[in-house]
Structure 1
Amino acid sequence: MHRTEFDAIVVGSGPNGLAAGITLQKAGLSVLIAEAKQTIGGGMRTQELTLPGYKHDVCSAIHPLVLLSPFFKSIPLQAYGLELITPAFAAAHPFDNGHAAILNGSVRETAERMGKDKAAYLDFMEPLVRMLPGLIPDLLGPLAMPQKPLSMAKFGLKALPSSLNTSRLFKTAETKAIWSGMAAHAMQPLENLATSAFGIMLMAAAHLNSWPVPKGGSQSIANAMAAYFRFLGGRIETDFEVSSLDQLPSSKTVLLDVTPRQLLKITGEKLSPAYRKKLEKYRYGTGVFKIDWALDDAIPFTAAACKSAGTVHIGNTLEEIAAYERSVFRGRHMEKPFVLLAQQSIFDKSRAPEGKHTAWAYCHVPNGSQKDMTAEIESQVERFAPGFRELIKARHTMHSAQMEAYNANYIGGDINGGVQDIRQLYTRPVLSTSPYRTSAKGIYICSSSTPPGGGVHGMCGFHAAKQALKDVFKISNL
């Protein structure tokens, strides 16, 4: 390492670490990003996990929030190699009768396919989609007085109920099911308060911008962010695992893209006893079991719409999905998991050799689970795509403990950096007027364990960097 002193050091090069580094560097600081692995990206990495020529997203794959994020809107990633692809359909949800519900296009276009639920869906979603762009800065930030309090109140009335309660607005099993599949991204029981917020955000994102797929894999997002950061003058060091702040060069401030558990280890006794005690009470949520497949052909879904969808939610009815998510949250496995599946190679030919395909899927499991869910997941896919198993050339699997070994932020396989329920949605990692500050002067946390939580949006890093700029460098005009 050539420099012995920086204005700021960021530990971790996931979307939030890179966002923090870019924000600090844009403000004129000298910034180092320290990454433990050989490659940057955190949850945005793409590797040949199965066979040569088959590119698989190791963690995140579909990115509903990239085009909504104020941070991503503020940086020119397309000029640094990022190309986003829009699937024909954002998402599809197949049923045992061979049909599928589809999320795509405007609210009205989607509602037209909902039969008896057309009016109810329009009444529920149209006002939200109109309001959402103006609310995004507040929704993707820390708890504060909103810029548009009346609109936020209207949003909250629909977002705070449980998704099971909201499902009662709809009459058909198909609409209830596609709604519950969206809400299940909350990784908690669907009867929990505020699970409707997850369904709303994902469906509104689809209506506004679809759910884009980065060409070449999620690594493309990380690479573009890193290229822009370096263009600004920033420095990245890989193979630099930080287990103690004493390992770092001198700097005026440090931002850590880690969860509370690692923060406690890395900072040692620098944090106050009271703050440490609060961090020790931080709650982690359910884990995931993930599979990547190299396939001889595209997945032969019975429902034609599924063959044109970037994402397919496999869980059949609301009742099945709700039972599964409830069971997992209580620490139990079930035979028929709710499966979240992506098939990027249908739209991005760079993902697989000519005529071949890849697919990516995971299901929720109890935190820390080491149970192999391969048979259960593949049985669910086969249920809606007979002949799927015959197309498998190779597979790569990761249980929750392996997910954590791959990325230390995935405690017990929790890809959201902690439970995002009503108790911990805006009080992550602690209840504070500035959740990005720690009790130690100049030390900040910028991971998905801060508001607004999980997802590739960069806003946790952006807000943490803004706080550090204000506190340490007296810069607040961003």
Structure 2
Amino acid sequence: MMETFDVIIVGAGPNGLLCGAYLAKAGLKVLLLEKRHEIGGGLITEEVTVPNFLHDTHAIYMAMIDYAPAIKDLQLADNIKWISPEPVMSMHFSDGRVLSIYPDYERTSKSLAQFSAKDAKAYLEIGPRFAELMDKFLAPATYKPPIPTFETVIKMESHEIGREITEYSGRTPKDIVFSLFESEQARALFLYAACMWGLDPEIEGVSYLVPLLINRASQYRLTIGGAHRLAHWMYKAIYKAGGRAWTSQRIKRIIMEDGKATGVELIDGEILKSKIVVSSVDPYQTFFKYVGEQHLEPDFVTRLNDYEWESSSHFVYHMALNEAPQFKHSEKYPDLYKTFIHVVGFDTAQELLDHWKNVKEGELHQTGFNCCFPSIHDPVVAPKGKHTGLMSQHAPYGIKGGDADSWYREREIHGERCVNVLEKFVPNIRNIMLRHYITTPLDIENKLWDMGKGSIKQGAYLPLQMGYLRPNEYCSQYATPVPGLYMCGASVYPGGLVTLGAGYNAAGRIVEDLGITPWWPKPQIVANAEELGLL
């Protein structure tokens, strides 16, 4: 007898799991289908170097744990511990100085004072102001579906916070950072913080994210025991509510009957029927591969074809270390060893801009990146006395003079370039390295099919595919033009980076359409923003 479900979710990444947990707890019979052998999507913790060394091989820096409603709603903090090491981010310069960002404004200001008294004073205003923008609009807007652009403009113009964010949106990240800080060192660090997730430093229209990302540079969290623990406990919520996840499942198509999505067919021919289907994968796979263009209106097909992957991805070099790294300037900066995210290899903002330009052109150079050593903060991920580390660098999907397959030839060569840079700041790195494991942009695409061209956010952050237009005006409200089919992944609002926003918002839309009263409360930050007239 054919098994039927209320909801089938395609993809058991962070947003698929989150959406599934809320829907299962709402009393719906939920099934998640995952291509990989393990749930979690980018929440991957693996032994890829030496046994007993645990590496987060995709997501590691958790940006919105302190705001995401799911942490409380699903009681995730009862079983998962997150820490925010201090300093959160430190940029090492070739002259031996280090600039650090702390959760505490005064400590960050003191670090800035090494380079500019003006910048130190300015940050005492910038830090609290960006935190206020987060609390009153940027964070709450993450956990409520977007509204049409014209309505957004009206609401934003009604409040001084909205007007300020709108003003930022009309500028480039580079212009904002350069106007806030005068020293080369401050400009380099804060421009990196603003653009480390792929925001184009020269593009206007999405810079409302600059205050958010600069604020998050003082708030990133590390998941104790590995990022996969978040996936594990979201699935526990699903399981306890009667839902299930099937791994190693390949989908042939989304079943269409009388113009409506009514289930999925697996590649082995098995038919699974459901009242609705929810896709957490990208628009191309969802509509062209699984639904089929013959079921879509021409205008919608045009907008789907407009969707763009990201212009850069990440090259990541994971390390198993025989002992602790020794930072070159730790005597002068005692806090350096405790830093969560290190940025090395850039002395000026122009060097950063040159690097990003080279990436767009497909060029590989010996240059900077961010790195971290998780085991310093979380001893669970390595044997006693041993350590883990990683270097993460912006990199092109296709290499100039070749293509994406050129990474098979270039991976070790480029990895050596990165080690050369790190060695200038961590002199013992070669002597303590036991083994390494490399992830290239091509590997990201091959491992996580919904991240085409290594797009870690399932698509670029561009003015015409953000907010109400992510991925387009037809799907940004989570329902799609295909009756019975919804979207809940990083390609819909608010985007990627494990904000736990898209899956949350999609679940809200689905229960509303099904006439089910949500079991979860409205987040207080959302209620506050609505009261201000911003949402």
**Equivalent position SS for 1:261:** helix
- Cα contact 1:255–1:444 (8 A) shared by 2: yes
1:156 corresponds to which residue? 166
Q: How does 1:124-139 map to 2 (within 5 A)?
A: 124-135=126-137, 136-139=139-142
- Cα contact 2:71–2:77 (8 A) shared by 1: no
Equivalenced residue count is 473
Identity %: 25
- Cα contact 1:341–1:360 (8 A) shared by 2: yes
Structure 1: how far apart are the matches of 2:169 and 2:66?
21
- Cα contact 1:403–1:413 (8 A) shared by 2: yes
Structure 2: how far apart are the matches of 1:270 and 1:46?
39
Kindly provide the amino acid, as one letter, of the partner of residue 388 in structure 2. Answer: T
- Cα contact 1:284–1:419 (8 A) shared by 2: yes
Does 2:359 match 1:328? yes
Structure 2: how far apart are the matches of 1:476 and 1:215?
31
Structure 2: gaps (5+ residues): 255-263, 266-270, 399-403, 521-535
Kindly provide the amino acid, as one letter, of the partner of residue 257 in structure 1. Answer: S
1:83 corresponds to which residue? 81
What is the CA distance between 1:238 and its match in structure 2?
Answer: 1.3
Structure 1: how far apart are the matches of 2:499 and 2:303?
26
Kindly provide the amino acid, as one letter, of the partner of residue 463 in structure 2. Answer: I
Does 2:218 match 1:218? no
2:289 corresponds to which residue? 265
Label 1:433 to 1:35 Cα distance change in 2 as closer, same or farther (>3 A). Answer: closer
- Cα contact 2:173–2:202 (8 A) shared by 1: yes
Q: What's the CA shift string for 1:152-183, capped at 9, x where partnerless?
A: 32233235421211222212222111101102
What is the CA distance between 1:461 and its match in structure 2?
Answer: 1.2
TM-score after normalising by structure 1 = 0.93
- Cα contact 1:68–1:205 (8 A) shared by 2: no
Structure 2: how far apart are the matches of 1:462 and 1:139?
10
RMSD over aligned Cα atoms: 2.2
Q: In the alignment, which of 278, 284, 292 is matched to residue 303 of structure 2?
A: 278
1:16 corresponds to which residue? 15
**Equivalent position SS for 1:321:** helix
Kindly provide the amino acid, as one letter, of the partner of residue 428 in structure 1. Answer: R
Label 1:395 to 1:466 Cα distance change in 2 as closer, same or farther (>3 A). Answer: same
TM-score after normalising by structure 2 = 0.83
- Cα contact 2:193–2:217 (8 A) shared by 1: no
Q: How does 1:427-446 map to 2 (within 5 A)?
A: 427-432=469-474, 434-446=476-488
1:112 corresponds to which residue? 110
| Larger Rg over CA atoms | 2
Q: What's the CA shift string for 1:359-417, capped at 9, x where partnerless?
A: 12221222344242212221221232223222211011122111111111121111111
Structure 2: how far apart are the matches of 1:199 and 1:281?
25
Label 1:75 to 1:42 Cα distance change in 2 as closer, same or farther (>3 A). Answer: same
What is the CA distance between 1:119 and its match in structure 2?
Answer: 2.0
1:342 corresponds to which residue? 372
What is the CA distance between 1:429 and its match in structure 2?
Answer: 1.3
Does 2:188 match 1:202? no
**Equivalent position SS for 1:155:** helix
**Equivalent position SS for 1:113:** helix
Label 1:450 to 1:58 Cα distance change in 2 as closer, same or farther (>3 A). Answer: same
Structure 1: gaps (5+ residues): none
Structure 1: how far apart are the matches of 2:202 and 2:458?
21
Q: How does 1:267-416 map to 2 (within 5 A)?
A: 267-268=291-292, 269-285=294-310, 286-304=312-330, 305-316=335-346, 317-329=348-360, 331-368=361-398, 369=404, 370=407, 371-372=410-411, 373-416=414-457
Kindly provide the amino acid, as one letter, of the partner of residue 399 in structure 1. Answer: T
What is the CA distance between 1:434 and its match in structure 2?
Answer: 3.9
Q: What's the CA shift string for 1:411-440, capped at 9, x where partnerless?
A: 111111111122322222112474422211
Bigger mean CA offset, 335-344 vs 11-20: 335-344
Label 1:271 to 1:195 Cα distance change in 2 as closer, same or farther (>3 A). Answer: closer
Structure 2: how far apart are the matches of 1:14 and 1:287?
19
Label 1:141 to 1:161 Cα distance change in 2 as closer, same or farther (>3 A). Answer: farther
2:527 corresponds to which residue? none
What is the CA distance between 1:339 and its match in structure 2?
Answer: 1.1
- Cα contact 2:89–2:340 (8 A) shared by 1: yes
Label 1:156 to 1:343 Cα distance change in 2 as closer, same or farther (>3 A). Answer: farther
Structure 1: how far apart are the matches of 2:244 and 2:396?
38
Structure 1: how far apart are the matches of 2:302 and 2:128?
44
Structure 1: how far apart are the matches of 2:476 and 2:205?
22
Structure 2: how far apart are the matches of 1:474 and 1:434?
21
Bigger mean CA offset, 265-274 vs 342-351: 265-274
Bigger mean CA offset, 2-11 vs 27-36: 2-11
Bigger mean CA offset, 364-373 vs 144-153: 144-153
Kindly provide the amino acid, as one letter, of the partner of residue 70 in structure 2. Answer: F
**Equivalent position SS for 1:340:** strand
Q: What's the CA shift string for 1:58-108, capped at 9, x where partnerless?
A: 2001102122223334320123x2121231321111111112111112233
Structure 2: how far apart are the matches of 1:125 and 1:19?
31
Structure 1: how far apart are the matches of 2:518 and 2:383?
49
**Equivalent position SS for 1:358:** strand
What is the CA distance between 1:453 and its match in structure 2?
Answer: 0.8
**Equivalent position SS for 1:384:** coil
**Equivalent position SS for 2:17:** helix
- Cα contact 2:322–2:433 (8 A) shared by 1: yes
Q: In the alignment, which of 175, 179, 182 is matched to residue 165 of structure 1?
A: 175
- Cα contact 2:130–2:212 (8 A) shared by 1: no
